[in-house]
Chains A and B, each alone.
Chain A
Amino acid sequence: MTTAEARIPARPRTWPRTALVAGAVAAFTALTCIPAIGGVEVDLAAIARNWRNGADKMAQLLQPDLTFLPRTLQPMLETLQMALIGACFAAAVSVPLTLWAARPTNPNGVTRRLVRGVVNVVRAVPDLVYATILVALVGVGALPGLLTLFLFDLGIIVKLVSEAIDSSEHPSLEAGRAAGGTQLQLNRALALPQSLPLFANQWLYALELNVRISAILGIVGAGGIGRLLDERFGFYAYDDVSVIILEILVVVILIEVSSNALRRRLV
């Protein structure tokens, strides 16, 4: 029996697995919708009832009062300064930590796991939570904002870059080791230059994220344009709020465009 039909392999039976995954997702979703155990009460009726409020607010936000713009420049500059300083310090500290946290550059399992554990703990705390606690620790101002951005960036850079180093092949490191280089020499002469594009990519990403985050850090008192934003929101001055949002938008897009241009050259 060598008909054409016989040679077509049977269609793989994937439906039981698909059904299992879909069932698990549906069950989890159902659990998240039970208010009694802490789930979210999905209240679609509220949208139908009150959508006009949101639409009104959007309409107000679409009428910016540009005369407010000069007052936003100083806080915006502060935001950008915080973003840059935070990203640069994080970039500097991230290099040794990353090389410590990646397997090819640190064969010592104990210190590697230690650094990874610390970084995972640092990463598990959300940015505004850092800001809230640091404001209580060192007082209101740009300093808690800076520290927040620094910690946040450090977590992202170390995690992503060390995973990228882990997942790629390193024939040159092996060659270096065969030639008798110490781990420090290998890292300095081979691993660092090779992973520099990875670093540069994440540094730029951290800078982009910083501009976005530092725009809201002011809400908890950590300096920058967020403080002004929160204040104008509190006064229901939506025309001013709208100017600030527009400004954040323009700055974020500018940073993204320029960092994309830089990335194309560096990476």
Chain B
Amino acid sequence: MTAAALPPAPSRAGQTVWTVVVGAVLLAAIAFLDVDWAGLLDLPRATWEYGVLMFEHPDWERLPRALFETWRSISMAWLGALLCVAVSIPLGMLAARGVGPSWLRRILRGVFAVIRAVPEVIIALILLTVTGLTPFTGALALGIAGIGTQGKWVYETIESLDDAAAEAVEAAGGGRLAVVRWALWPAALPSLMSFALYRFEINIRTSAVLGLVGAGGIGSMLSNYTNYREWSTVGMLLIVVILATMLIDAISGRIRRLIMEGAAARGMARST
């Protein structure tokens, strides 16, 4: 009776039901969305045509201006990241289980969720009335808009730490502040720094988005020249944006890896 030794094949009924439901919803969404699908057929031709317009003779004469605006975007992203990290680390720590009181934890998590839901463009549009159409507005908007996600990462990092060090500090008679300073902070620091750099990388992309609504930087330049239909300049700007973003990603990614590898070597990596 070797056949009986085999376990029965697991039921796939649940999986099938889910597949059918998701498929039906997807088909309904496609059917009822008012899309000009014929445009999709035309896409390869249009992409080729505009690609040639953009990249055949990129307009390098405006490169100095583009680099100036790129630095502006980077500055916006950096200052925004600094502001975001400076606010979200203390708030995120207070929102972690075992650090702050539970009523504060609930309030802070609610605030983070609300900020996460508001698109950064909206925050920028509100800030415009205070600081005007300036890169400073962009930096502030990036700083505020990032708090939602960054704060969440901070408390998730703290909560995923090994309890042993915290228990040791408590056993040695340390209070809650001592636990944060001597157990949680050193163990979480590599992850927090890594997330801070990651925020900078995200902000680089988002700062281009904010540029589209007028906060300045490379995004503003790109949207202007797209509106002017000056495709050779748009092509040059795209090349600059892509290269700058990839360069910063590479540098920041390298630093993040160094930070985390150092942490792993010292046995302080996140336990999960």
Contacts and interface: CB of A to CB of B under 8 A. Distances in A.
A39 B69 CA distance: 9
A41 interface: yes
B209 A126 contact: yes
A37 B74 CA distance: 12
A89 to B, nearest CB: 9
B213 interface: yes
A78 B39 contact: no
A33 B79 CA distance: 8
Interface string B15-35: 000000010011001101111
Interface string A121-146: 10111111100110011110111001
A245 interface: yes
B241 interface: yes
A88 B122 CA distance: 27
Given A53-B130, A84-B25, A120 B136 contact: no
B78 interface: yes
A97 interface: no
A240 to B, nearest CB: 13
A133 B219 CA distance: 12
Contact of A219 (B121, B129, B135, B245): B121
Contact of B78 (A32, A47, A51, A121): A32
Contacts of A40: 72, 75-76, 79, 134-136, 138-139
B82 interface: yes
Interface string A243-267: 0010011001100100000000000
Contacts of B113: 253, 256
A220 B117 contact: no
B223 interface: yes
B10 interface: no
A127 B209 contact: yes
B75 A39 contact: yes
Interface of B: 22, 25-26, 29-30, 32-37, 39-40, 42-43, 46-47, 50, 67-72, 74-76, 78-79, 82, 113-114, 116-119, 121-122, 125-127, 129-132, 134-136, 138-139, 205-206, 208-209, 212-213, 219, 222-223, 226, 229, 234, 238, 241-243, 245-246, 249
